[in-house]
Amino acid sequence: MRAFKVEVNSKRICVAGVGTNGVLSATTNCVASPARRGDLFLEVGGLFPETDEHALWAHLKLKVGDRIVLKVIETDSVDKPRERYRFDSKANARNQKAYVLAMVKQFGWLFLTRPRQERK
């Protein structure tokens, strides 16, 4: 299978892979905002569509000068993910509703709702 071998500053972080069917990603982020002081981090994750599970191999804080090496390899074995979890659609809906209500409050908007109509 194809996999990612990831190193930071010559230290092995993980060998991540999802087999012959899935999504594998390695993302380096810099969040530039005064509140977060330019957070830098690396995340290696994936998705196993057969089980609808997300996977996380690494989530590391970085600093200026760090050297990241990602090598695409073919291998028969990979590291076990640190975490596997399913996307919780009910929790996501609750979070989205809470976000919308917070924005309504923040912007001083008026939030109107109609009573739900019963289905026939």
Q: Which residue range is the domain that position 100 belongs to?
A: 2-107
115's tokens: 């009573």
More confident residue, 37 or 64: 64
| In the predicted structure, residue 116 carries a pLDDT above the cut 80 | no
Q: Where does the pLDDT of residue 78 fall: very low under 50, low under 70, confident under 90, or very high at 90 and above?
A: very high
Does the residue 115 lie in any domain? no
**Quick check: pTM over 0.85?**
no
Does the residue 119 lie in any domain? no
pLDDT for 95:
86
pLDDT for 52:
87
End-to-end CA distance of the chain: 52
Does the residue 6 lie in any domain? yes
β-pair partners for 70: 6
C-alpha distances in angstroms, 84 versus 60, 68, 95?
A: 17, 24, 21
* Number of compact structural domains in the chain: 1
Does the residue 118 lie in any domain? no
Q: What is the DSSP letter of 82?
A: S
pLDDT for 114:
77
